[in-house]
Structure 1
Amino acid sequence: MIEKNDQPRTTPEPAVRMPVLTVEFCGELFPVAPGEPFVIGREGQLEIDDNPYLHRRFLQISDNASLWWLGNVGSALTATVADEQGSMQAWLAPGAQLPIVFDKTVVWFTAGPTTYELSILVQEPPFMQVTDPAADAAGAETIGPMTFTPDQRLLILALCESMLRDGARGAGSIPSSADAANRLGWKITKFNRKLDNVCEKLTRAGIRGLHGGPEKLAVNRRARLVEYALAARLVERADLDLLDGLADVT
């Protein structure tokens, strides 16, 4: 007699092997384990610093649906996210999340007067970029997807100078409009006019966060411009020679 088994046999599904993910900040590496959220902020697995403007829990890395995800679990601050080449940029608002698909993803965010930069490194990422040499050559005479006047380029450099000079990729300060104008040898009225022009040009190109009410036109606008300029590679460290050359002209 053949006995029937009321319970059908099932084959257990193989465990999903997540790519190895590591966060790099100020030259230190922080491995992220699947199944446990990795929190970045004043508290968490990666404690940035004791900046009172920074959320205790700001960014979170977690795994879901066979992918790594970066989420903004804060309530006010935003983050700018880009791939290493600057061909993809995203603005991560509170409550938003996006998949981490590149081998190197760079994140910038600003809390008070300080802008931070960290990198997310993934071994065997689900997406591999293919660079078009012809496209690189064609864009050699422009800054990113659009052109800027020499004065506009100097303005962007002056605001990004601290971050560009920090080779350790950690934190830098955003100068006030007065300090940036003084660095360039401009009057504050000229600086503000040029800043308006740059922000309007980027806003027309679809870049968010650069235009708002009168109360939002100081630190917030400069911080967003710095984050986007770094993410889109509008300026790079080699361009600092233009700022250093100002002393020879004045």
Structure 2
Amino acid sequence: MESTGTDAGRQAEAAPLRLEFAGEWIDVPPDSAFIIGREGDLEIDDNPYLHRHFLELQYRDGFWWLANVGVLLAATISSAGGAVQSWLSPGARMPLVFERSVIVFTAGPVTYELSLHTDEAPYEVSRQVQATMSGETTVMPASFTPLQKQLMVALAEPMLRREGVSMNELPSSSAAARRLGWTMTKFNRKLDNVCDKLDRMGVQGLRGGAGKLATNRRARLVEYAVTSQVVTRADLPLLDDESLRSQVDSDRD
């Protein structure tokens, strides 16, 4: 990443920050903490799985900071066109240093997305990162088979087709399997393979375990796949690709 030359730590005034959620734009005030959650300055939704106070925006020490003030939920923050991704756990905070950041999080069965925008970011996307975004170089260190990508697109379909909508119920495993024309055995095997591959890459939140619902694993997979641009809207035709239906199945796919 390249500095724009702005010494953000010495700025006398906060750079304007705007928040977009569900097509609504909000100017975030720099002189007080801005709370996002079931209650607060931005009331996301009357969802019992969502914390009353979940995320906090505050201008301090020359930067806008995003803090997770919840106790259970985490959020994924994607910046620089998806080239930079952060996993914001409860109690953690991070500075917002790029012009646009996309925040995705899941509460129960619902996935939410909001974005933060500023015209005076202290950092800009470097030429090297722009090249990765244009496809000249590879961002993802792992490759996925067509069937694995097809699974991720099926789970992320509502989010990929969204036009200004900020919440989506993810399809159930059975609904996604029907969408693909797969048996549940095949779907669960592919889901395990994709999650294991990403877990080996260090992606958090995809390993099952006691007390972890499959819904949360699917939601985390969608969060990562969309914000990291593993799948994009351009991949939607995979869902109706007849050639994949006759592809030989294997445990590696």
Per the normalisation by structure 2, the TM-score is 0.87
- TM-superposed CA distance for 1:212, in Å, is 3.3
SS at match of 1:123: coil
Match for residue 157 of structure 1? Answer: 153
Map 1:104-183 onto structure 2 (within 5 A): 104-132=100-128, 134-135=131-132, 136-139=134-137, 144-183=140-179
Of the candidates 81, 97, 113, which is equivalent to residue 101 of structure 1? 97
Equivalent-residue separation in structure 2 for 1:41 and 1:70 (angstroms): 13
Distance in 2 between the 1:134 and 1:46 partners? 36
- Opposite residue 93 of structure 1, the aligned amino acid is S
**Structure 1: 4+ residue segments shifted above 6 A:** 247-250
SS of match in other structure, 2:211: helix
After TM superposition, give the deviation of residue 245 of structure 1 in Å.
3.8
Q: Distance in 2 between matches of 1:189 and 1:229?
A: 22
Aligned twin of 1:206: 202
CA deviation map 1:179-206 (0-9, x unaligned): 1111111011111110111011111111
Cα distance 1:165–1:246, how it changes in 2: closer, same or farther (>3 A)?
farther
> Is 1:81–1:89's contact at 8 Å kept on the other side of the alignment?
yes
Give the counterpart of 2:57 among 61, 75, 88: 61
Structure 2 gap segments, 5+ residues each: 1-9, 247-253
Unaligned runs of 5+ in 1: 1-13
Q: Which residue type is aligned with residue 76 of structure 1?
A: L
% identical aligned pairs: 51
TM-score (norm 1): 0.88
The whole-number CA distance in structure 1 between the counterparts of 2:107 and 2:67 is 17
**RMSD of Structure 2 on Structure 1 (CA):** 2.1
Q: 1:134 to 1:61 in 2, by over 3 A?
A: closer
Match of 1:83 in 2: 79
Partner of 2:229: 233
* Matched residue type, 2:179: R
Cα distance in 1, alignment partners of residues 150 and 103 from structure 2: 24
Aligned-partner Cα distance in 2 for 1:176–1:131: 40
Distance 1:240 1:199 in 2: 20
1:224 equivalent in alignment to 2:220: yes
Q: Does 1:30 align with 2:19?
A: no
Residue 248 to residue 228, structure 1, CA distance change in 2 (3 Å): closer
SS at match of 1:192: helix
Cα offset, 1:249, TM superposition: 6.3
CA 1:248–1:204: 2 relative to 1, 3 Å = closer
- Between Structure 1 and Structure 2, how many residues are aligned? 235
Secondary structure of 1:239's aligned partner? helix
**Residues 80, 125 of structure 2: 8 Å contact kept:** no
Larger radius of gyration: 1
Flag the 1:244–1:143 CA change in 2: closer, same or farther, 3 A.
Answer: farther
